[in-house]
């Protein structure tokens, strides 16, 4: 694949990932958090389910249960925490905390799956944890939004490990479509039962919803999976460090958010930590594959 096209797609994909935090915060003017997240992913899931209707779908109820579990963590857990966090912290802070998920993958993979990682990967985890501490302002006065931001990262890490364990037996596009649909429906249920629903009809509200559902969900997922298929997955995943950068940038451009110096300092350490985790993982798996 042409490296310039690859670079353009990386920027487009990660900017869609990062900017969705600011656009989502704008959407809270018109929707309650869980309702907005539910509408976004139910709509995206329905559209993708139609697109992948001719691809092989699971025949066993057990496999549908796996997709439902992934949707509960990847869509309902991650996005529910993100949209709720945006009520009390900035879009930039929420994006930085959410994209610490590779660090939690290392920790949870070690604790529950017995996975083995190199020393440099653990160094990345340590740097990332220090970065989170600094990002929070070098104190422990945690806001609810901060805890929810960390919760979204943990939920994403759990979903990543579930996909790693179960994904081989499932069509990746079918998995993506239906986990979004199931997660979106779950968020809708939570939106109508655990919060006071708010829905303001109008052109701006509809435009935000369509942008989140189509550009920041379907286009973003399709572009990302295409990049993973075209290049080395480990090296490609290292470019995820650009997403929180775009999260902070879009928060500044679209919402006029003021970012404290310690958020930049902590965010930089988090990005270095994530880079070490992903980049080293790529080298490790390639050597293992060659040895085999």
Per-residue HEC secondary structure of 9-54 comes to HHHHHHHHHHHHHHHHHHHCCCECHHHHHHHHHHHHHHHHHHHCCC
Query: Cα separation of 284 and 210, whole Å?
Result: 40
Q: Check residue 77 and give its pLDDT.
A: 97
Q: Check residue 245 and give its pLDDT.
A: 83
Query: Cα separation of 152 and 119, whole Å?
Result: 26
Query: How far is Cα of residue 11 from the mean position of the Cα atoms in its chain?
Result: 16
Q: Check residue 238 and give its pLDDT.
A: 67
The number of folded domains in the chain is 1
Query: Cα separation of 102 and 124, whole Å?
Result: 10
Q: Check residue 284 and give its pLDDT.
A: 41
Beta carbons of 245 and 19 less than 8 angstroms apart: no
Q: Check residue 228 and give its pLDDT.
A: 72
- How big is the CA angle at 227 (ends 225 and 228), to the nearest 5 degrees? 65
Residues in the chain: 292
In the beta sheet, which residues pair with residue 31?
Answer: 199
In b/e form, how buried is each residue of 159-176, taking b as 16+ CB within 10 angstroms? bbbbbeebeeebebbbbb
Query: Which of helix, strand or coil describes residue 158?
Result: helix
Query: Cα separation of 225 and 181, whole Å?
Result: 18
Q: Which parts of the chain have pLDDT scores under 50?
A: 139-140, 280-292
Q: Check residue 137 and give its pLDDT.
A: 64
Residue pLDDT, tens place only, 267-287:
888 888 878 877 644 444 444
Q: Check residue 1 and give its pLDDT.
A: 67
Which pTM does this prediction carry?
0.85
Domain encompassing residue 171: 3-291
């Amino acid at each position: 694949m042409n490296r310039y096209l690859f670079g353009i797609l990386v920027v487009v994909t990660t900017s869609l990932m990062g900017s969705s935090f600011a656009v989502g915060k704008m959407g809270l003017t018109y929707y309650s958090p869980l309702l907005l997240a539910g509408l976004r992913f139910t709509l995206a899931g329905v559209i993708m389910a139609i697109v992948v209707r001719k691809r092989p779908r699971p025949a066993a109820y057990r496999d549908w249960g796996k997709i439902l579990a992934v949707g509960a963590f990847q869509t309902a857990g991650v996005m529910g925490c993100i949209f709720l966090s945006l009520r009390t912290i900035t879009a930039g802070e929420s994006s930085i905390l959410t994209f610490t998920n590779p660090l939690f993958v290392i920790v949870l993979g070690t604790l529950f799956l017995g996975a083995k990682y190199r020393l440099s990967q653990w160094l990345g985890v340590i740097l990332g944890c220090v970065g989170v501490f600094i990002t929070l302002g070098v104190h422990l006065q945690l806001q609810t939004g901060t805890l929810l931001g960390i919760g979204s990262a943990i939920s994403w890490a759990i979903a990543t490990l579930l996909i790693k364990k179960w994904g081989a037996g499932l069509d990746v596009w079918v998995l993506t479509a239906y986990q979004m649909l199931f997660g979106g429906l779950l968020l809708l249920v939570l939106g109508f039962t655990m919060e006071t629903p708010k829905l303001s009809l109008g052109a701006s509200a509809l435009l935000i919803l369509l942008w989140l559902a189509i550009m920041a969900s379907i286009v973003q997922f399709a572009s990302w999976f295409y990049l993973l298929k075209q290049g080395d997955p480990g090296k490609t995943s290292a470019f995820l460090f650009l997403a929180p950068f775009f999260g902070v940038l879009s928060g500044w451009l679209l919402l006029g958010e003021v970012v404290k110096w310690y958020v930049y300092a902590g965010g930089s350490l988090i990005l270095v930590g994530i880079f070490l985790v992903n980049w080293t993982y790529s080298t490790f798996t390639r050597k293992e594959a060659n040895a085999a």
